[in-house]
Structure 1
């Protein structure tokens, strides 16, 4: 009996299939422009590696070429896992297009990695940062920076969501903030009185900045929209000024800490997930922490079940 060989629906080279895949996913909104940019780099690098090994068509990709590619790229274990997931998404598309039979990347064993313990700030440490910033930062940036910090800790915004806030997104009359999430989704988030006051304080000094006519809420000292690296510098400098040193000193530490403190206070996990803008609750679980003393107290509170009648 002769085994039938797989015949792809059409002939297209791997490097061209990459463009088709990414253009389709971006057009229908499954991948953001930044995700497309990152995946294009990785998939084109894989395609070029295949070409150097005389593999041009998707149907010619085999397990050994994928493993050889993973060995070829000098990256960490966690990065190799990311590469496998990127290749797996691409191969799912190739299967749908009837260009390959099997998702090879999906069946390759993933390297085991052990995540380091994640840093987060206690309430006392957060207070220390706010007080240090209010007392020691240049007067022109105090209100801007304190508002930034509160948006990260109080409502757990991402850096990109924060710096892309427009004046019209801040609805102080209805006590709401309209936040543009990943993939262009818009969520409404309530504002408490402290956040409203911080917005008003910043708006009072904002006209002193060059570029105050711009639509962005947050401006740099040079009168332009704040950039992610500038926000990272602002937060990192505030942490150092307050004498707090963690492994990662950026704004995500504040966002992570705000979510963790809410979880420790017993707040609803689904509402924390909404604030964080996570589509998957398992992603939110990474933000949950406890300390050893709290765990011991919980065990001590367990009811005593006696066998005595």
Structure 2
């Protein structure tokens, strides 16, 4: 429960000041009182009282050094986050059906813990569903591919928090082909998941000039559709595909033209937030280590670390 002192006028300013201080480095000089006052739209005395209130709670310790200014000497960032009232950051990512996604979830957990930011994960199928959840305020951060992020465009009010680089979202995409079928067969039944921006774009690249028939589905149904012979082909994430689809399949890498068009956009994971510059987003932007996310993911992939999310 929040201390009653933080429900006063000075306390409300202290909460805003706590958010401002989340990314301040220990042993760095603080901005001047009047700079905070101008940013927060209050008087100098109110800022001084708010800063003292934060010190009294033990969330931080400062040292005044005369004309050299005031320096931050100690800080409890978890306490500052709590006092700022920013709550738990909720991130939405794809269902963790592959070791790569388990590694990504584990890496996100590790990076948020290191940043001392309260964090929780939820799993949602389809980049569009995750985008809708972000824009409606149901989640604070989403994981999508670079391909999907670019496809959503500027009108989506998305902002990139980090691009984690190649092979962080998927290892590779390829064509899944039912045994006995060929890519040039007329009337080939091709499974397409309309909830996946990536899968739709990849399917268009591979089959745009072929006389195929599209079957709308989701990857959760794909194994059964292949088993029953209702689909002949699909473009999909090749990570552990034979463990998830119980059918006699041939996998074909994407051709050179498709790879040239995509670059690494289909395999790179992007952490995306709303482009609203909220205190929570700015705190995460300044503190979250993308390198820790990717190193942890790699450790999970190599078996040097157990998934934990």
Task: Report the TM range for the smaller structure's normalisation.
Answer: under 0.3
The two structures have a TM-score, normalised by structure 1, of: 0.27
Q: Which has the higher contact order (CA 8 A, sep 6+)?
A: 2
Whose helix proportion is higher, 1 or 2? 1
